[in-house]
């Protein structure tokens, strides 16, 4: 805070990365929960965090959403259960049908595309190599589309170099949608060097929003003294933004969920700040961070846009009428 009210605040140029924040898949998932509560009333059950953002989850809880990790936490009910944007293994909707639960699938359509790619390659007799992070819900969901052993997870270049396939001539690779574009390129190159016959996905699996947000960070990182990424620590795409900023030349890069997490001593004296948000972070949290800096600096905002986003995804059939109303 300002120590002397009579002293002018130091100037801070804030370069706002654009695009940033909510992507079409996250926006659709949040809408599904909100519209389900409107149509069916509370409670509406959601398996896993609908998106990786505590602010969003808490706001939906306040409206009547009940979050669970597994279906067996849900009582016998006629109320719907919603599957998160990250996607789920095939066993989950099968279990919901066994219990006669009404379920709505909020899986991002771009994640569903990866699921279909995995199934197609498996049907063609190929072992599927999934590039992703172990334990991430999206990876769990994608691996759960195929029988055990049909998908091999590769996380790093080192993994790719020691991977032993069942048949080197019958391989295909797919990826988690929220990875570092540059890291993934290196892993793919290692796989293709060892296995020239490995089949790529029909279209790049890393989603447009992940790519666009990383490109915006790259455009800003070399121009600023510090970068703040608004996002959750368990958000893959947010973590990748922080890493991309560091690699692109930003000396200090921080991931925060809220303005209250800003570590002013670590940020130190700065004249230019880069600011972005992961795909599951709402813009209100970006504005909160700007307000926190405005208490200490005279803020000058500049938007640095590297792409326009016009993508929108259809809602589930059951909720389209509610959305129209």
Write down the pLDDT at residue 7.
83
Distance separating alpha carbons of residues 305 and 276, to the nearest angstrom: 11
Write down the pLDDT at residue 3.
47
For the chain, give every domain's residue range. 11-22+208-305, 24-108, 110-194
pLDDT band at 78 (very low <50, low <70, confident <90, very high): very high
Q: What is the DSSP string of 125-177?
A: TPEEEEES-TT-HHHHHHHTTS-TTSEEEE-SHHHHHH---S-TTSEEEEE-T
Per-residue DSSP letter, 234 = T
Q: What is the CATH number of domain 24-108?
A: 3.40.50.11270
CATH class of 110-194: alpha beta
Say if CB 117 and CB 141 are below 8 A apart. Answer: no
Say if CB 127 and CB 172 are below 8 A apart. Answer: yes
Provide the 3-class DSSP secondary structure of residue 212. helix
User: What would the pLDDT profile of 151-189 be if each residue is shown by its tens digit?
Assistant: 999 999 999 999 999 999 999 999 999 999 999 999 999
Average pLDDT value over all residues in the chain: 95
Distance separating alpha carbons of residues 33 and 110, to the nearest angstrom: 19
- Cis status of the peptide bond prior to 145, with omega within 30 of 0: no
SS3 per-residue string spanning 262-305? CCHHHHCCCCEEEEEECCCCCHHHHHHHHHHHHCCCEEEEEEEE
- 54 Ramachandran zone, left/alpha/beta (phi>0; psi -120 to 50): alpha
Distance separating alpha carbons of residues 238 and 280, to the nearest angstrom: 8
Say if CB 177 and CB 133 are below 8 A apart. Answer: no
| The model scores a pTM over 0.85 | yes
User: What would the pLDDT profile of 120-159 be if each residue is shown by its tens digit?
Assistant: 999 999 999 999 999 999 999 999 999 999 999 999 999 9
Residues with a known catalytic role = 138
Write down the pLDDT at residue 325.
62
Common-topology check for domains 11-22+208-305 and 110-194? yes
Distance separating alpha carbons of residues 82 and 47, to the nearest angstrom: 6
Q: What is the CATH number of domain 11-22+208-305?
A: 3.40.1010.20
Q: At residue 27, does pLDDT exceed 90?
A: yes
Say if CB 9 and CB 268 are below 8 A apart. Answer: no
């Amino acid at each position: 805070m300002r120590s002397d009210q009579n002293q002018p605040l130091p100037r801070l140029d804030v370069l706002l990365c654009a695009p940033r924040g909510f992507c079409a898949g996250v926006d659709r998932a949040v809408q599904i929960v909100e519209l389900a509560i409107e149509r069916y009333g509370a409670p509406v059950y959601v398996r896993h965090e609908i998106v990786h953002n505590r602010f969003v989850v808490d706001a939906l809880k306040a409206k009547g959403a009940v979050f669970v990790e597994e279906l067996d936490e849900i009582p016998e009910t006629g109320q719907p259960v919603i599957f998160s944007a990250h996607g789920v293994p095939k066993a989950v909707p099968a279990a919901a049908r066994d219990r006669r639960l009404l379920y709505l699938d909020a899986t991002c359509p771009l994640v569903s595309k990866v699921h279909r790619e995995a199934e197609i390659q498996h049907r063609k007799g190929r072992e599927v190599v999934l590039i992703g992070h172990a334990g991430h819900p999206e990876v769990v969901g994608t691996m759960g589309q195929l029988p055990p052993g049909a998908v091999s997870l590769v996380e790093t270049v080192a993994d790719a170099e020691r991977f032993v396939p069942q048949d080197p001539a019958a391989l295909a690779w797919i990826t988690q949608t929220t990875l570092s574009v540059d890291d993934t390129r290196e892993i793919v190159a290692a796989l293709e060097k060892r296995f020239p016959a490995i089949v790529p996905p029909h279209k790049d699996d890393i989603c447009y929003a992940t790519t666009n947000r990383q490109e915006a960070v790259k455009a800003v990182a070399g121009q600023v003294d510090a970068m703040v990424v608004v996002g959750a620590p368990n958000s893959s795409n947010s973590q990748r933004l922080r890493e991309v900023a560091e690699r692109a030349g930003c000396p200090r890069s921080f991931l925060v969920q809220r303005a209250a997490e800003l570590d002013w001593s670590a940020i130190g004296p700065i004249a230019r700040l880069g600011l972005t948000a992961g795909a599951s972070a709402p813009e209100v949290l970006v504005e909160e961070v700007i307000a926190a800096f405005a208490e200490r600096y005279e803020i000058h905002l500049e938007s640095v846009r590297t792409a326009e986003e016009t993508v929108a995804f259809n809602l589930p059939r059951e909720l389209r009428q509610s959305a129209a109303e």
